[in-house]
Structure 1
Amino acid sequence: MKVLIGKEERNRVLAIEEDHFYDLKAKQIAPSKLSQSVSAFANAAGGEIFIGIQESQKGATKERTWDGFADVEEANRFLQMLNQVAPLADFISTTFLECEDETGLVLKIEILKNAAITKSTDGIAYVRKGAQKLPVDTDEAFEKLRLDKGISSYETYKVNASLDVIENSSVTLGFLMGVVPIAEPEPWLRKQQLIVDDSPTVCGTLLFAEEPQALLPKRTAVKIFRYKTVEKEPSRDHLAFDPITVEGWAYKLIYDAVAKTQEIVEEIKKLGESSLVDIQYPAETLHEIITNAILHRDYSIATDVQVRIFDNRIEVESPGRFAGHITRENVLHSQFARNQQLVRLINKFPNPPNKDVGEGLNTAFDAMRKLRLHDPIIEEQQSSVLVTIPHQKLASPEELVMEFLESNPEITNREARVICGVRSENSMKSVFKRLQKRGMIEQVPNRSRFKAAWRKVQS
């Protein structure tokens, strides 16, 4: 497909910073060499490659120019290479870009995140790290790639422990009393593939060991932090108390972590007698997001799930990036379970924490909207997924300030920033100035700069 772009779009292409998601290549590159970049993007988070951009060094600066293919046929060797490394792939698309007054066609290759492992023409798989492509050339690295893709799951790995830890645990015996027909522990555990070579698996340990933290340290706990601040980067001085560690088998861990989070949140309903806002988060939102963080985390990473409670938000960080084809853009509409056994079997417990399998995040978003709060924010980080639950109403900062002053005599810049979700003191001052210009508020007289506050205009 050919697409005509304007000079502004051309300039954006020429100015692209090569990073984890973008790469620019001259048309002279060998298809075999380019296949390594295609493999690297396909095995990471996806990305875009533009072929037909010439780069030259002029002193300390690099200069780029448009130097495309004379016609589509000239790029056939690259199209043939794509078909070789990923035949019939639905995650790779190509577009030819042409621009008036520029020479030739630039080939744009767009690669989406996907659940397959793609190798280059030399038979080696690569992964994209920043602006580099790194070969996956050891058994350990290849297995890590399989885990990242969701092709393998750490839940199936064996744990170096006696079968007794799951076969005769009170969790297993209690659970099997509710199975129809009632089953004996060992045959049932083997049937569910929770025992391999007379050893419990990670999944079996997570679900049925009374103290899984003793066998899988740093993988079976939730750390809860309470920071008395709205700052994006808190310090230890902002901690209200030492972090709380919640431990236990997966079912207990979920319910205990949610309950402890709710308990802490309820203790900060109001920030002082002058009353900011009630710190209320929908119970469904906390439950679904914490459940998701525990069930879908990457158990190969020895890091606990973290719940961080701030004055104006809650952050839930789950170890591991999105698995398979899941991205931040499609996470609410697509399904892919990294830990399929764990998700399936915990759903068999009484009052399962994942009642609506695959719908948990949608439930969390709906609950926030019912309270007219902003949607949770989902971000994929270098080795984790972070969900931020903001306590910020769906209203303009001006509306929120005036709503606060309906029931309070005055408001400070700090209070207003918490209510409005604004981090900058100067940005909040601009809101006050706009309201002052409209004759709606005024500064409280006879106050020092450090105790400045605003109130409704006195009649």
Structure 2
Amino acid sequence: MDGLNIEYKDKVTNKLYREVIAFANGSGGTLKIGMSDEQSIIGLENPLADENALYEQLSKMVEPTPLIEVSQEHFDGQVILEVKVKATEHVYRKRGTLFEEIYIRYGSKKRLLKTPEEVHRFIRMRHVDETENAQTNTTFRAEDFTEFVDFVQSQANVKPSFATIGENLEGVLASYNAIRWNNGEFVLTQLGTWLANSSQTRAVLLQYSGDRSTSFCQQASDFSGSIVTQFSRIMAIMMTVQPLYPNDLIQQCVVNAFTHRDYSLQGDLSIVIFATRVEVSSPGTLVEGLSIESVKKGARIVRRNPLLHALFVDLGLTDGHGDGIRRVLDSYNDGDDKPKISIQKDSVIVKLPRFEKVEKITNETKVLRKEMTHEEAIKLHLLEHKQAKNIDFQQILGVSPSRVTQIVREMVTKKLLVATGERKGRMYTLSVTNQEE
């Protein structure tokens, strides 16, 4: 792994500043001048003159002035220059320009940022929240990122840079600053710990039969491991248990919960599915300077974890435009119920109502149903909706799950209803006789 942060040059060329820019914009590195790519000693005829030429080149070509240490090393009468380049929070570039010749280190190679989008993203990444970018004492091990690699390779719309992740895991993780070179080895940053199999973050998903947490809990799932694995498992469940929520809106809310949560706080990210709504809760409050109104309008883009957000964008999980909440709100323009954003002391909760209510009835119909028997209310519901589950009957009758089970069992025995399917997915329809009434 040493070779990723060492570059060998046989002499001081007029383009050597580009290597220095790439190291300074990354995690630092070392230039060994007077050696071939095969690491054989060539030596320098006048190392002092070469050292002066290097300093002069960097002062003319690089802005801001990079932090370097130059020393001479002697090998059997040959002299080489060892140039140690220190990385800082600055954006290093060609002197006299704003965005020209910005090079970064990608694996063992340097890369020129060519598009405005690449430059903009890199500049954002240089000014990251230290809770995300902070270096840990955990040594990088490829085997602790198998979940991350599997997830990336399962995605269809990832950036081309992920194509070789199986052979270049270090390069991919380093490009997002998930790992950092330190004293001869890669160590994890906080972002790296979130992506690793051993991540200490947690997420939970609960599903209730009714509209309160006192209702019967139909499902309780606890997710651990890499946060991309947690995200994948949550979305797999959401696609099956609640078809009345558009997948792209649910995904946007779950992505936001992962990328904007405050990972320094104790507590789990949670998704709670009620009969008529979904609540997505993320630890942490709004980033300082934001308000609910500014979030709704999408007027300002402020990301708590910009590196993580950039990774999710490049994985094709979100578009990165910063207007996700506004689009979610706009999707409900034609509905009676609107999404709600609740800011608590230590969490942000987004509540999404179902697009199609379990029961769309007027106040007059509600009064009428109060005068109906349970059997009459179920028959009316099935005349309108053709089929229903036990949970639907719980909503219209307002009684306990056990009582509903008793009622529908009696109606099946009376041949008023027809039951099809296994218990958890059992559907009820009216018998042919009752459909004709």
Shorter-chain TM band: 0.3 to 0.5
Larger Rg belongs to:
2
Question: What TM-score results when the alignment is normalised by the length of structure 1?
Answer: 0.45
Question: What TM-score results when the alignment is normalised by the length of structure 2?
Answer: 0.47
